[in-house]
Amino acid sequence: MPVPILLVTGFLGAGKTTVVNHLLAHAEGRRIAAVVNDFGAINIDAELIAGASDGVVSLANGCICCSLEGDLLRTLATLLRRDPKPEYIVIETSGVADPAEIVRNLMDPVILREAPLETVLCVMDTATPPAALDDALHRSQLRVADIVALSKLDLADEGAGARIREAIRAQRVPAVVVDAQHGEIPSALLFPATVDRAPAPRKPGPKRPAEQRFETLSWTSDQPLSLARLQQAIGRLAPKLARAKGLLETVEQPGRRMVFQFAAGRATLAPADAALAVSDAALAVGDAPALPCARIVFIVELGVLSKAELDGIMETCVADR
Ligand SMILES: Nc1nc2c(ncn2[C@@H]2O[C@H](COP(=O)(O)OP(=O)(O)OP(=O)(O)O)[C@@H](O)[C@H]2O)c(=O)[nH]1
């Protein structure tokens, strides 16, 4: 029986992990395996998907559309040899990935026969300015999509939904556009009810050289951070950041793990939920090294921020320095 693949694409911070988490939390008995690709050395996304029903495979420190394509195919082959086999596979790409390259890799004849690419979902922040869709990466992510899910409607102004739908229509992509409040998309849209036929192979579009446009910088601390100083530091860094995310403890609430997110100019800090606490406990057993108090990944356009500048600003958040 072929195992259908759902490929989740979308720009940095659009809401892909939120969609994948929602899907896994509402799996309703389906065995879903998730493959998560984070571009940085620390794979925060895999940790944020702690509640996966059939395990999460993390591919970090590279991009599955260029340097890790072999790893993706090997990972899929391993998943397909699992007993019991997953019934569905979700692949979450990093926000900098060109999905056309991943679609091309998934057209590998063996993978296509055993795990055909069924659906490509592009998650898009409703507040994305229409002009941003002219960007090559946005265009490529839209062009391969069967479904575009508009995220963060609750944060967008009143006309934003209509504006972005019009801009997507202007790109003349055949995708269905749906709203996805906090990652909620009916799973019937994403996975077929029966898996008795393989979808047709896809044409991934013209091959273009992978554009090196973003880099990730990681910062860790073995001390908790001062919340007020973190706010100041992020305020200083914000103009240079495309995306940041991480896990940290604050001096104000010692021992409480928080998830830090920065996307589309907006920073949030929320308590890490119970699922994360479980994954931490699992990580803490055996020979695993103790995790630092703060682990944050910053994604920036190439050359706009040096590691030394980042370290200098972030070190000010450590209370006793
Ligand atoms: N208010 C609100 N926030 C959302 C919604 N969807 C996602 N977010 C928030 O947006 C931020 C980024 O969401 P993620 O799901 O991590 O985005 P992503 O596309 O996986 O990010 P990358 O993998 O880094 O590209 C997080 O703080 C989410 O909680 C939504 O519908 N409403």
Question: Could you give the CA distance from residue 41 to residue 175 in angstroms, rounded to a whole number?
Answer: 33
Does 152 sit in the ligand 1 pocket, CB within 6 Å? yes
ipTM comes to: 0.99
| C-alpha 146 to ligand 1 mean position (Å) | 20
Residue 197: is its pLDDT beyond 70?
no
**Homologous superfamily of 214-315 in CATH?**
CobW-like, C-terminal domain (3.30.1220.10)
Read off the pLDDT of each residue in 208-222 and give the average, rounded to a whole number.
81
The mean predicted confidence, pLDDT, of the chain is: 85
> Which atom of ligand 1 is nearest to 45's Cα?
23
Domain boundaries in the chain?
5-190, 214-315
Mutate to test the pocket of ligand 1, among 7, 8, 16, 18 (most ligand atoms within 8 A of CB): 18
191 bridge partner residues: none
Residues 26-67: tens digit of each pLDDT: 888 888 888 988 776 666 766 677 554 456 777 766 776 666
151 lines ligand 1 (CB under 6 A): yes
State residue 259's pLDDT score: 92
* Ligand 1 pocket check for 125: Cβ under 6 Å: no
Dist CA 93 CA 24 (whole Å): 16
pLDDT at 94: 87
**306 CA distance to ligand 1 middle (Å):** 26
The answer to which of 106-115, 199-208, 288-297 has the lowest mean pLDDT is 199-208
pLDDT bracket for residue 228 (50, 70, 90)? very high
Mean pLDDT of 176-181: 95
Average pLDDT over residues 246-253: 92
* Ligand 1 neighbour 182 (Cβ under 6 A): yes
pLDDT of 165: 96
Q: Among the CATH numbers 1.20.1250.20, 3.40.50.300, 1.10.569.10, 3.30.1330.10, which is that of 5-190?
A: 3.40.50.300
250 lines ligand 1 (CB under 6 A): no
Task: Give yes or no for residue 216 CB within 6 A of ligand 1.
Answer: no
Residue 194 predicted with pLDDT over 80: no
Question: How far is ligand 1, taken at its centre, from the CA of residue 101, in Å?
Answer: 24
CB of 16 closer than 6 A to ligand 1?
yes
Does pLDDT of 107 surpass 80? yes
pLDDT at residue 277 is higher than 90: no
Q: For residue 59, report the phi and psi dihedrals to the nearest 5 degrees.
A: -115, 105
Per-residue pLDDT tens digits for 156-165:
999 999 999 9
- Under the banding of pLDDT at 50, 70 and 90, the label for residue 11 is very high
The reply to whether ligand 1 has any atom less than 6 angstroms from the CB of 261 is yes
- E strand or H helix at 47, and its extent? helix 44-48
SS3 label, residue 8: strand
Q: What is the pLDDT of residue 280?
A: 43
Task: Tell me the sheet residues that pair with 259.
Answer: 247, 270
Has residue 109 got a pLDDT over 70?
A: yes
Lowest-confidence region among 41-50, 231-240, 252-261, 273-282: 273-282
